[in-house]
Structure 1
Amino acid sequence: MTTSSDPSDGLAGLAELLRQDPAPEAPSPTERDSDEVRRRRRRRRIGLIITAIVLVVLIAVPAGYAAWALTAPLASPIETSQAPRVPPGEPVALRLPSEGASAISVAGADEYLGPDAAGIWASSGGDEARPIASISKLITALVVLDAKPLAGVDDPGPTITFSEADHDLYDTYYVQGATIAAMPAGSSMSLHDALATMLIPSASNYAEAVSTWAFGSQRAFLNATRRWLEANGLTGTTIVEPTGISPRNMSTPADLLAIGKLAAANPVIAQIVATRSLWLPVPGPMANTNTLLGIDGVTGLKTGNLGEGSHNLVYTATFEVGAAEPLRVTGVVLGGFSRDTVNTSVVALLDSIRSGFHDIPVATAGRDVGEYSTPWGSTAKIVLAEDASIFTWSDTPIVVTMETLPPETYRDGEVVGSITWTAGPQSTTVPLEIEGSIEDPEPWWRLTNPGELGR
């Protein structure tokens, strides 16, 4: 009997066999009606039926299994992945002055430096009151402008005519070794120019003359100064005269930071103290005593000294570090050994702040962060799609989060998620993609691994 590879052909043949009796043999006369003949016929029919069933099973089962095994769905590849950790940057070595006392305030970077940065962010040497010398003139200017405000940097203000008594101040301060500027009796200048002569070369005779002019007497000026200090909460500051030649003019680093911010917020004072040199008809050429102007972003404010070991500076600086906005620094140094040591310490401190802001590499294109694997041995990598870095401050912790998505094709270049790194207010995100491709298994693997199919 011819068999077909199609199981349905075998079933049809079996049905046909059941409908037909086998061709009878010619019986002998003695066997025609015997039971033995009937039994032999029955056994032969059963044998043929069994043979037909076995043939059908032998053909149908392997063919059906092969068809199922070659088309059965496969389990999804297994993903194993881990987000790469990035160590924080090196902690900044903040270089605070080692001499005297200091304090610094930084605005524009609270997200990096903390919410207290715009107050007193860092300090050294304590906060006790110390002699402030010619920084006193900054307070004198603020008190005078509080009583006699100017409309802006282009407003010269009222004219001051200097008397004989004002002229005599030149000699008074000369014998005390204070800085002075020419002030002939009968000469005159605007309030703006008089303040500039007081602040830029730090002329003490102008500090007294202008403060007396504004209030009528030194007694009235000092009373106004005390009220101004109280109104601004500057309880650690004492002023007994307008120039700073007296060591009894004292203040704390914390108060001087506040005074520096008030001065920087006054456009007239801010413009004057940022001027490196000036020529005016009465006093002539003048140079700013703050030789740090223009160095490391320094924009002001005022020096003061009473000799060796008593050099002081209140300063402001503005510079870019790569943050969303420039840093605005206000600082103070009291009790420095010399002008050079004070300047050196300020530059070192500003440089250390600047160096604390940096970019840290977090991603390299092609870096392996995981893989997809299959029971039949086909694998593909999960890699970073591009290079990336993150901007941060000092050793701010870097937090990493990774999100993966089920691939659609498991083919090379398919984007399957992303990684995000966060440090302070900054974050950067890089796509994840497949490197390589997941290939289908060979037919033989399908036929020999039925337990891995259909899952």
Structure 2
Amino acid sequence: MSSFRPGRLVGISVGTVVILSLGIYGPATLLGPLPRVTATTVIPASTTAAPTPPVLSANGASAIAVLAATTSDASGTISTGTASTSTATTSTATTSTAIPEPLAVAGTTQALPMASIAKVVTALVVLDEKPIVTGESGPVVTLTAADFQSYLDYDKAGARSVTVFADEQWTELELLQGLLLGSSNNHADSLARWAFGSVDAYVVAANAWLAHNGLADTAVVDATGLHDASAGTATDLARLAGLAAIDPIISAMLESPASALANRRGVQNTTSYLPEEGITGISRSYTDAAGVCFLFTAEISDGASSFTFSGAYIGEPSYDALTADLTALMASARTGVGPLPVLAAGDAYATFESAWGDDASAVVGVSRTRYAWQAASPEAATVTLKDFTTARTGANIGQVQLSVAGEKLSAALKLDQAINDPGVGWRLLHPVMMISALLDQ
């Protein structure tokens, strides 16, 4: 006959708890995941040169935008910046590389009359509607009585014009050369009528093109820019200069000799201005309402690397003022442009600490240097880190990204020393941390 024994029941209960505890404790501590390391982002000592802002004009409005930056790095490879010359076989402005926001802007932010810069819009819009294959001249255009009358009207008014006659045949490329290099007002109207049926229809298409290309603060009411209401902001027009410069047809045209129409009427290149300063003109003009207006690109190079920017100056009071302002700009460019150690190898952007006392840093693995113009202090870096518990020295544990001179750059972050498993002893002595890590997962 058995009897109830309270001590036996207590013993069995305690034993059961111990066995169950050991069944959980052992696997949780010995086989379970370790607590994740604690990460803290840090800001390394800056290795970037002090900002050197561009010297822009105090007159009217002006702006410059990064067009291209090409750098030979330590490995001998070539890195190209935000925008580069188009490799397309036809000139199609809507598919060109987008130009970033200007590097610097000065003067009024309001739209100002832009004089013959409007003809650059005309050229790009016509090329978008009637593309030319690179190396070819495009279709042959037979001029009409209306084209001849346009020439007579502009010539009588004293506006820039290039002689044409009814029934003459010009290629599209020749018409564009007359338009851009000769700044011919009658060629602007002729191209608009040929490509769109009328100048009015062209104006509708041109404003749609401007909006499509992000130039929302610029509008045209004619193809020539003689009307004061054809106006734009310096910000938009600096970007327009970039779009023109990367168009293969226009860029090749600007490299042509002064007499662009060898068998025609010797259209002279009116765009050239201060080439000794490294400037390539795209449009140079004057009207009473607009003042002196200039669209251009410029290049700074040390032989191995180069930096090209586009720019717009509108509302300059005189050509003497334009010369002085451009000379000051290029002097500031020669001072400001150079190799920037943007992301230096070894710079730490985060530190890590484990629950068992190991610590390490997330450092840039490979330097990123750019030949650029540091016009302003770079934006704060964005750091992305991976979750981990242990990792070997040199493991890729994240990425750092920042923008400099309008270009986004990034580099992998590496662990500068290992964070190792703490071993069985630490695991067994820290059951709360181990079980918490298990529950977290």
TM range (shorter): 0.5 to 0.7
Q: Does the 8 A contact of 2:112 with 2:231 survive in 1?
A: yes
- CA pair 396-261 structure 1, distance change in 2 beyond 3 A: closer
Q: Does the 8 A contact of 1:276 with 1:293 survive in 2?
A: no
Return the offset for 1:280.
2.4
Residue in 1 that maps onto 2:231: 250
TM-score (norm 2): 0.57
- 1:251-330 matches, within 5 Å, as 251-280=232-261, 283-292=264-273, 294-307=275-288, 310-321=291-302, 325-330=305-310
Return the offset for 1:351.
1.9
- CA pair 276-298 structure 1, distance change in 2 beyond 3 A: farther
Distance (whole Å) between structure 1 residues aligned to residue 257 and residue 226 of structure 2: 23
Q: Does the 8 A contact of 2:296 with 2:311 survive in 1?
A: yes
Return the offset for 1:161.
1.1
Distance (whole Å) between structure 1 residues aligned to residue 53 and residue 281 of structure 2: 25
Q: Deviations over 1:103-142 (max 9, x none)?
A: 111345599xx99x95221111022100001010000011
Residue in 1 that maps onto 2:153: 172
Distance (whole Å) between structure 2 residues aligned to residue 307 and residue 331 of structure 1: 22
Is 1:340 aligned to 2:320, yes or no? Answer: yes
Letter of the 1:345 partner, please give it. Answer: D
- CA pair 334-95 structure 1, distance change in 2 beyond 3 A: same
Q: Deviations over 1:238-268 (max 9, x none)?
A: 1111011111100011111221111111110
Distance (whole Å) between structure 1 residues aligned to residue 180 and residue 244 of structure 2: 12
Return the offset for 1:201.
1.4
SS of aligned partner of 1:312: strand
Q: Does the 8 A contact of 1:100 with 1:335 survive in 2?
A: yes
Residue in 2 that maps onto 1:137: 119
SS of aligned partner of 2:272: coil
Q: Does the 8 A contact of 1:141 with 1:195 survive in 2?
A: yes
- 1:315-394 matches, within 5 Å, as 315-321=296-302, 325-357=305-337
Letter of the 2:185 partner, please give it. Answer: S
Distance (whole Å) between structure 2 residues aligned to residue 339 and residue 314 of structure 1: 14
- 1:67-78 matches, within 5 Å, as none
- CA pair 277-122 structure 1, distance change in 2 beyond 3 A: same
Letter of the 1:175 partner, please give it. Answer: K
Is 1:128 aligned to 2:110, yes or no? Answer: yes
Q: For structure 2, list consecutive stretches of 5 or more residues without a partner in the other structure.
A: 1-44, 72-80, 83-98, 341-370, 378-403, 410-441
Q: Does the 8 A contact of 2:113 with 2:289 survive in 1?
A: no
Q: Does the 8 A contact of 1:273 with 1:302 survive in 2?
A: no
Q: What percent identity do the matched residue pairs reach? A: 31
Q: For structure 1, list consecutive stretches of 5 or more residues without a partner in the other structure.
A: 1-84, 361-390, 398-423, 426-455
Distance (whole Å) between structure 2 residues aligned to residue 247 and residue 130 of structure 1: 8
Q: Deviations over 1:28-82 (max 9, x none)?
A: xxxxxxxxxxxxxxxxxxxxxxxxxxxxxxxxxxxxxxxxxxxxxxxxxxxxxxx
Letter of the 2:57 partner, please give it. Answer: P
Return the offset for 1:325.
3.0
Match of 1:106 among 55, 59, 66: 66
- The CA RMSD over aligned residues, in Å, is 3.4
Is 1:241 aligned to 2:201, yes or no? Answer: no
Match of 1:96 among 51, 56, 74: 56
Q: Does the 8 A contact of 2:102 with 2:239 survive in 1?
A: no
Return the offset for 1:215.
1.2
Q: How many residues align?
A: 282
Return the offset for 1:317.
1.4
Letter of the 1:340 partner, please give it. Answer: D
- CA pair 231-396 structure 1, distance change in 2 beyond 3 A: closer
Residue in 1 that maps onto 2:10: none
Distance (whole Å) between structure 2 residues aligned to residue 338 and residue 317 of structure 1: 21
Residue in 2 that maps onto 1:227: 208
Return the offset for 1:151.
0.8
Is 1:216 aligned to 2:197, yes or no? Answer: yes
Letter of the 2:197 partner, please give it. Answer: G
SS of aligned partner of 1:213: helix
Q: Does the 8 A contact of 2:160 with 2:184 survive in 1?
A: yes
SS of aligned partner of 1:280: coil
- CA pair 271-177 structure 1, distance change in 2 beyond 3 A: same
- CA pair 170-122 structure 1, distance change in 2 beyond 3 A: same
Residue in 2 that maps onto 1:73: none
Letter of the 1:328 partner, please give it. Answer: T
Match of 1:148 among 130, 133, 148: 130
SS of aligned partner of 2:242: helix
Structure 1 residue runs of 4+, over 3 Å off?
87-94, 107-111, 357-360, 391-397
- CA pair 110-253 structure 1, distance change in 2 beyond 3 A: farther
Q: Deviations over 1:380-431 (max 9, x none)?
A: xxxxxxxxxxx9977999xxxxxxxxxxxxxxxxxxxxxxxxxx99xxxxxx
- CA pair 394-282 structure 1, distance change in 2 beyond 3 A: closer
Return the offset for 1:175.
2.9
- CA pair 274-131 structure 1, distance change in 2 beyond 3 A: farther
Residue in 2 that maps onto 1:161: 142
- CA pair 128-157 structure 1, distance change in 2 beyond 3 A: same
Return the offset for 1:90.
7.9
Q: Does the 8 A contact of 1:120 with 1:254 survive in 2?
A: yes
Distance (whole Å) between structure 1 residues aligned to residue 375 and residue 317 of structure 2: 33
Residue in 2 that maps onto 1:406: none
Return the offset for 1:319.
2.6
Greater displacement, 99-108 / 311-320: 99-108
Letter of the 1:125 partner, please give it. Answer: G
Letter of the 1:286 partner, please give it. Answer: V
Distance (whole Å) between structure 2 residues aligned to residue 185 and residue 166 of structure 1: 7
Return the offset for 1:96.
1.3
Return the offset for 1:186.
1.6
